[in-house]
C-alpha cells in the first residue's frame, strides 16, 4: 500500500474531494477517486472523507493506493449468457464461480476476459486496462446480473446512478435459520474488519452507511429463502448484514459457520433483478433472471425436508 499526502491550495477552497483528487493525483480518475473514498482510503484531517466533502484551503488530504501489480487482461473465448446488448452496454448473467476481473491469483478466465472477446475490445476505459467496462461487481461465488459499459459516457452515466442509489437491485438468498420478522431493514455501517483486512464487518470505525431491505419468502426447518433489495452497495453487504442478524448466507465460507453446507460450493446468493435508466436513450430498463441450477436444486432438497444443521 502506497501513501500519498496532498495539501489543499487556496484556489481549491470549496472543491469536492473526488474532483480535487482526480485533478491533483496523476493517473487517478474521478471514478477511481470516488471508489477510494467509499473504501475509506482517503483521510481528511485524519477522518475518512466522503467523495462530496467540500475542502478547506490548507487542509491535508491523505490517501492510499495499492501497490501496482502488472496484469494484462486479454480476450478469451468464454461463453457468456447475454441478457441484453446494444451499442452502449451489455447486461450479463454471471455464473457462480466466475471472477469479474483479473487480479493476483485470478489472472485469466474472468468475466472481463470473456467480454473483451465478445465485444472485440470495445469497453469503457474509465477503470483501466484490468477492469474495462466494469461499472459494478458481484462476488466470485455470487451469480446473477451485471451491467457493463462499452464507452466512457455510458460508464459515467451508470456510475452516477449507482452513486445516488437509483439502481434497482434485488437478490435472492438462502440463509441459515428462520428470521422472526417477515420483513425488515438492516441499516448498519460496513467497514474493513480490523482483524482481517480481507473481510468486512459491521462497525462504526472508518465505515460507510449500508442499507439492506429483506423479506422472508419461504421458511424451512433450519433455513429460509429471502428476497433482498439493496439501497446501498457496499462490499459483501448482503453477506455481512445477514450474518450480523445471525442468519448468514448458506454456503458462505467467509461469514458463515465453519462447517459448510453439503452440495454448495460458495454462498447461495443470486442477483436476480437489475433495473436502471439507459444513460443514452433515457429509457428505464428492467431485467430479471431465474434462479440458477445450484440454487433451485438446493431449494428442492430443502422442500423435501432435508436438513443440514443451522447456526
* Number of separate helices (H) and strands (E) present in the chain: 6, 15
**Which residue in the list 86, 108, 139, 196 is annotated as catalytic?**
139
Cell numbers 429460509: residue: 224
- Residue 85's SS3 state is strand
Residue 139 falls in the annotated catalytic set: yes
**Could you please report the per-residue DSSP string of 183-240?**
EEEEE--EEEETTEEEEEEE-STT-B--EEEEEEEEE-SSEEEEEEEESS--TTHHHH
Pairing relationship of beta strands 42-44 and 47-48 according to DSSP bridges:
antiparallel
Cell numbers 476481473: residue: 101
User: 10 Å Cβ neighbour count for 228?
Assistant: 23
- Please list, in sequence order, all residues whose beta carbon lies within 8 angstroms of the beta carbon of residue 287, skipping any fewer than 6 positions away: 83, 84, 91, 145, 273, 274, 275
Annotated active-site positions, please?
139
Amino acid at each position: 500500500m502506497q501513501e500519498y499526502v496532498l495539501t489543499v491550495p487556496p484556489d481549491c477552497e470549496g472543491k469536492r474531494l473526488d474532483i480535487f483528487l482526480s485533478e491533483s493525483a496523476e493517473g487517478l480518475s474521478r471514478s477511481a477517486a470516488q471508489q477510494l473514498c467509499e473504501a475509506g482510503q482517503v483521510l481528511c484531517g485524519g477522518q475518512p472523507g466522503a467523495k462530496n466533502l467540500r475542502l478547506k484551503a490548507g487542509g491535508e488530504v491523505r490517501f492510499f493506493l495499492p501497490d501496482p501489480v502488472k496484469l494484462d487482461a486479454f480476450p478469451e473465448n468464454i461463453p457468456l449468457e447475454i441478457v441484453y446488448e446494444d451499442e452502449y452496454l451489455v447486461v450479463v448473467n454471471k455464473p457462480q464461480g466466475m471472477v469479474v476481473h483479473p487480479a493476483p491469483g485470478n489472472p485469466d478466465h474472468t468475466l472481463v476476459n470473456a467480454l473483451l472477446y465478445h465485444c472485440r475490445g470495445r469497453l469503457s476505459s474509465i477503470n483501466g486496462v484490468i477492469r474495462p467496462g466494469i461499472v459494478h461487481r458481484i462476488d466470485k461465488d455470487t451469480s446473477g446480473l451485471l451491467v457493463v459499459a462499452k464507452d466512457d459516457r455510458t460508464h459515467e452515466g451508470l456510475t452516477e446512478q449507482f452513486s445516488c442509489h437509483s439502481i434497482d437491485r434485488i437478490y435472492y438468498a438462502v440463509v441459515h435459520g428462520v428470521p422472526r420478522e417477515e420483513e425488515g431493514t438492516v441499516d448498519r455501517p460496513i467497514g474493513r474488519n480490523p482483524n482481517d483486512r480481507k473481510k468486512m464487518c459491521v462497525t462504526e470505525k472508518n465505515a460507510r452507511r449500508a442499507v439492506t431491505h429483506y423479506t422472508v419468502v419461504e421458511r424451512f426447518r433450519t433455513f429460509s429463502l429471502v428476497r433482498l433489495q439493496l439501497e446501498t452497495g457496499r462490499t459483501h453487504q448482503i453477506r455481512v448484514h445477514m450474518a450480523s442478524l445471525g442468519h448468514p448466507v448458506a454456503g458462505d465460507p467467509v461469514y458463515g459457520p465453519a462447517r459448510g453446507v453439503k452440495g454448495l460450493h460458495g454462498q447461495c446468493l443470486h442477483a436476480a433483478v437489475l433495473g436502471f435508466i439507459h444513460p443514452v436513450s433515457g429509457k428505464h430498463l428492467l431485467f430479471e433472471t431465474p434462479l440458477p441450477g445450484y440454487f433451485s436444486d438446493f431449494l428442492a432438497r430443502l422442500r423435501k425436508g432435508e436438513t443440514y444443521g443451522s447456526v
